[in-house]
Amino acid sequence: MRAWIAGMAAELGLAAGFIAIAFAIAAVAILLR
Amino acid sequence: MIRRGWLSYGQDWALVLYYSGRVTIGFGLLMAIPMLVGIAQQDWYDACIFAFSGGVTVAIGYVLTFIAGRPNRPAQWIHGLVITAVAWLLAMLLGALPYELSGYYLSYLDAIFDVMSGLTTTGLTLIQHADRISDALNTWRFLVTYLGGQGIVVMALTFFVNESGAFKIYVGEAKDERLLPNVRSTARAIWRISLLYLVVGSFILFISLVVWGFPPVRAIWNAIWMFMSAWSTGGFAPHSENILYYHDPFFEFAATSIAIVGSLNFAFHYALWQGRWREIRRDLEFVTFVITVNVLWALVAVGLIHTGTYTGIVELVRMGWLNLVSAHTTTGFSNIYAVQFPLEWGGLAFLAVVIAMLFGGSATSTAGGFKAIRIGTVFRAIQEDIRRLLMPESAVIKTHLHHVEDFILNDTRVRGAALIILLYLATFGTGALVLTMYGYPLNQALFEAASVTGNVGLSSGVTSATMAPLIKVMFIGMMWVGRLEFLSVFVFVTHVIRGVVRR
């Protein structure tokens, strides 16, 4: 069960990571404008 | 008698009807859930609608199994494909009964359009006055999406079918990877993952809604429905303004995150839940998805900055990224109005969203589109061919890849991936062509055709109840073939035609 919770947390963490990368890419795009 | 490896009429149809009947019974029994919601809220009209529709559906399922009789041999691949196609058609026709009786649809065609849209997790809707519909009817709308995402055949395999040959039925529903050796345990694992996420995901959305000032009871309903929609990469919302209704960036990002997780391969979920963390770095499908999402997002960001549509970074990510991810995961949530895509998004960002809709999520997930594994496979095949041209003729080149398990890239895999991509493109092209014939501008036609083919649900303003009936029928067909990845439908149609010719 603990492994499952860790897996779920990792997946949600990955999804949050996507948002962080999105902000980083947007920042670069704005700076390079 | 020598069998030619093709369904012969009589016995084979009996087998198909038997299993389709079992799936139909399961689908009908599920109408008890919205019926109970109706009873609990003393909404007697809706309770009656679902009691009647459920009764009819279960009765038809029983009649089919009764006529067919219990099969005396296991299902073959071909049966699995035809069973899936037939079961989905029956579910579409019968699942529309409550919609039709509710009075929120202008015609039965609109009602079956919405069921197909829900089952295929597309999310385009022709409902009238979406803000006023009852909780029971909303529960059914989102339940249909949730079930469609897992696959109605997967549902039936879990609870209602326990015969050998089950895997061959399971494959028909475009879920061709086994998480566990036994198909029944695979189907159960899929449900376990989905139901656990239902609890956790709904809770996250609930907190977000309550913090934003939603009354707790409304927040519970909205959280569960929106979770079902996000996880299944569906895109329905209980309000006509879709996710824009909530006006809450945290809620939007939370729902999008659930959609991203929902668009991942069930085998990938299972690997991570078993503690196999290396999959994040090694899995061809996940790596491809990460690359395509970020490249397309960069294009959308550049496009939107160029047109000056959104000025601040938060606004840019909230509007741009959310819609791109919604397109790429084939969800269809949108926090802008449909007409803003063709009017405000310019050429580059608009085109990137169209490409994202066609690319889609992962195989064996709730998402639609080409699927990342096929894009990755074709890309690596091109790479291998270039390497072959650069090396001496005698050189032996092997590309080692990893997706669920290690494998060497071969022509069979490349052919399979390329053919499905080609079929998606042909469907997309045909859809766009028909829409332009009806007088829609090219950009809107391309957008809507990509959205329907990839089971996305974003709209550029074409989809509405006033659409020509032929377009509605075409969209239903496109959603159906797109979700079942062509094979089931082709085998079903060929079988019917051959049967007619033989007579």
pLDDT band at B502; cut points 50, 70, 90: low
Tens digit of pLDDT for each residue in B41-53? Answer: 999 999 999 999 9
Contact map slice: B 197-226 vs A, CB within 8 A: 197, 200
Q: Is A4 on the interface with B (CB under 8 A)?
A: yes
Q: How many CB atoms lie within 10 A of CB B159?
A: 15
Q: Is A6 on the interface with B (CB under 8 A)?
A: yes
B400 strand-pairing partners: B408
Chain B residues closer than 8 Å to A14 by CB: 260-261, 280
Is B347's pLDDT higher than 90? yes
pLDDT band at B62; cut points 50, 70, 90: very high
Chain B residues closer than 8 Å to A33 by CB: 305
Distances (CA, A) of A13 to A18, A20, B249, B262, B331: 9, 10, 18, 14, 20
Chain A residues closer than 8 Å to B258 by CB: 15
Compare CB distances from A12 to B257, B274, B317 and report the shortest one's residue.
Answer: B257
Tens digit of pLDDT for each residue in B379-412? Answer: 999 999 999 999 998 888 899 999 988 999 999 9
The predicted complex's ipTM stands at 0.96
Q: Is B269 on the interface with A (CB under 8 A)?
A: yes
Q: Quote the minimal CA–CA distance from A20 to chain B in Å.
A: 10
Tens digit of pLDDT for each residue in B300-345? Answer: 999 999 999 998 999 999 999 999 999 999 999 999 999 999 999 9
Is B5's pLDDT higher than 60? no
Q: Quote the minimal CA–CA distance from B237 to chain A in Å.
A: 21
Chain B residues closer than 8 Å to A2 by CB: none
Mean pLDDT across chain B, nearest whole number? 90
The pLDDT of residue B11: 75
Distances (CA, A) of B493 to B82, B246, B366, B424: 9, 43, 24, 17
Q: Do B321 and A14 touch (CB under 8 A)?
A: no
Rounded Cα distance, B416 and B412, in Å: 6
Chain B residues closer than 8 Å to A4 by CB: 196, 273
Question: Which of B204, B260, B268, B325 to probe by mutation at the A interface, max A CB count within 10 Å?
Answer: B260
Give B297 or B152, the one with higher predicted confidence. B297
Tens digit of pLDDT for each residue in B86-126? Answer: 999 999 999 999 999 999 999 999 999 999 999 999 999 99
Distances (CA, A) of B368 to B115, B363, B470: 16, 8, 23
Q: Quote the minimal CA–CA distance from B202 to chain A in Å.
A: 13
- In this structure, of A2-6, B3-7, B29-33, the range with the lowest mean pLDDT score is B3-7
Q: Quote the minimal CA–CA distance from B197 to chain A in Å.
A: 8
pLDDT band at B164; cut points 50, 70, 90: low
What is the residue extent of each domain of chain B? 11-178, 263-467
Compare CB distances from B297 to A10, A16, A25 and report the shortest one's residue.
Answer: A25
B406 strand-pairing partners: B402
Is B168's pLDDT higher than 70? no
Tens digit of pLDDT for each residue in B183-223? Answer: 778 888 888 899 999 999 999 999 999 998 999 999 999 99
Mean pLDDT of B356-369: 92
Q: Do B301 and A23 touch (CB under 8 A)?
A: no
Q: Do B261 and A14 touch (CB under 8 A)?
A: yes
Is B174's pLDDT higher than 70? no
Question: Which of A2, A5, A14 to probe by mutation at the B interface, max B CB count within 10 Å?
Answer: A14
